[in-house]
Structure 1
Amino acid sequence: MKLLSWLYTAWCLFWLVLIFFLLYPIVFISLQKEEWKIVAHHCNRIWGKTFFLLAGMPLKITYEAKLDPKKAYVFCANHFSYLDIALMGTIIRNYFAFLGKSSVKKVPLFGYMFTQLHIQVDRSDKSSRTKALKRAIKALKAGRSIMIFPEGGIHSTDFPQMVQPFKDGAFSMAIENQVPIVPISLVDNYKIMPNIRMSWHPLRVIFHTPIETTGMTKDNLAALKQQVYEVIQPTLNKYTD
């Protein structure tokens, strides 16, 4: 079984890299002007959709409510696998920016794209966290959504149990901008790629009903974090098999 898993991993890696290189010239050009960057965003969706198709992973996406593709949201999902980032870039229809680790910028080519298209943060550096939060708030004010993993990374050692407490960033920026938070349950990713080796499994994703933040203040921060947790965690527990 391990041999098959490694062969499948090699197959997936081959297509992931090949599609990236084929699209990269278009991505690179579109990153040179701010108004062109949405083209790079669409290229990333094509990259993800093509990859999951060639990897043979069917995607089953459930929407509890209709989302406006032109509206700004703060998307919050559980984070158990490196596959999560590729999946988010594939299934979120809104123009969005990731709030992700600054270490990604060290990856050749991909790092350049990430730094130009998304927001990097060094969680060990308070000034970096502050700057990243300001950039995210600015993006929301401009009508661009933000995607963030509120656990602050892959920290769970007991899948599918999320790590608590959530980081404040996603919730404070949603409250400040009075934009809805959309909880997302990534049900199967840890079964497919809990480490660097991959296994085949269908992918199920649930976009939950947006949680409105209109009228909320910083005093509601803790309650909002708990509300998002209580939406995602029971869903993950329900689909555990």
Structure 2
Amino acid sequence: VNASDKLGVHARSMQWTQLQFHTRGLPDAESVTRTLLAAQTLLATTALGMIGRRLGVGANRNANRMTQLIGDVGAGVAGLEFDVEGRKHLQQKRPAIFIFNHQSLLDSMVLAHLLRKDVVAFCKQEMASNPLVGPLLRQMDTVFVDRDSKDQAAVLQQALEVLASGRSLVIAPEGTRSVLG
């Protein structure tokens, strides 16, 4: 894949299949604007969540409001449109463990839009200190996983407590793969 000239010559001599991929180029102004607005939605949601907590709104109710704001407003300003068949099935048989392939920040907005309430994310520990999403994740009872630790008993116990409380878990076992993550 995208072999150098020297490696390409060798690959041809070995009759190996070669793949060449090219960059999509720079995003247009609308894409940049939508991305910035979506990021601003996360910041505003975090601020509203903090205000809600200070006013005494319960943690789960507050998290549900934040999830719905991210799913509706965040996805809206990002330009996402939804045509979902069987949406009712997403709310049935809960708590559940939802597993998804995480490519970018947009995935989180899609999940928030679809799942709506009573969900808690599994997330890598490093995200807790991320200035954009860390405060939001901490307010939403996120289960942070130290991927380098061999002892995950506390994490599993926290996950069991989430499920026992009637809330579902959202897990992206492969993590993000996009450049911007």
Pairwise same-fold verdict (TM > 0.5): yes
SS of residue paired to 1:126: coil
- Cα distance between partner residues in 2 of 1:28 and 1:154: 27
TM-score after normalising by structure 1: 0.55
Q: Is the 8 A contact 2:163 2:169 kept in 1?
A: yes
Q: Is the 8 A contact 2:67 2:117 kept in 1?
A: no
Report the equivalent of 1:76. Answer: 99
Q: Which moved more, 1:139-148 or 1:55-64?
A: 55-64
Report the equivalent of 2:50. Answer: 28
Of structures 1 and 2, the larger Rg is shown by 2
Q: Is the 8 A contact 2:87 2:114 kept in 1?
A: no
Q: Deviations over 1:35-94 (max 9, x none)?
A: 333223322321232122223221222338734458311111223334222322221134
- The yes-or-no answer on 1:121 pairing with 2:145 is yes
SS of residue paired to 1:51: helix
Identity %: 22
Segments of 5+ residues of structure 1 without an aligned counterpart are 156-193, 198-241
Report the equivalent of 1:41. Answer: 64
Q: CA deviation at 1:111?
A: 0.8
Q: Is the 8 A contact 2:46 2:135 kept in 1?
A: no
- Cα distance between partner residues in 1 of 2:161 and 2:94: 15
Higher strand share: 1
TM-score after normalising by structure 2: 0.71
Report the equivalent of 1:14. Answer: 36
Q: Please show how residues 91-170 of structure 1 align to structure 2 within 5 Å.
A: 91-108=114-131, 110-117=133-140, 118-127=142-151, 129-151=152-174, 153-154=175-176
Segments of 5+ residues of structure 2 without an aligned counterpart are 1-23
Q: Deviations over 1:169-227 (max 9, x none)?
A: xxxxxxxxxxxxxxxxxxxxxxxxx4339xxxxxxxxxxxxxxxxxxxxxxxxxxxxxx
> Using a 3 Å threshold, how does the CA distance of structure 1 residues 154 and 122 change in structure 2: closer, same or farther?
same
Q: Is the 8 A contact 2:96 2:169 kept in 1?
A: yes
The RMSD of aligned alpha carbons is 2.8
Report the equivalent of 1:195. Answer: 179
Amino acid at match of 2:34: C
Amino acid at match of 1:39: N
- Cα distance between partner residues in 1 of 2:53 and 2:60: 5
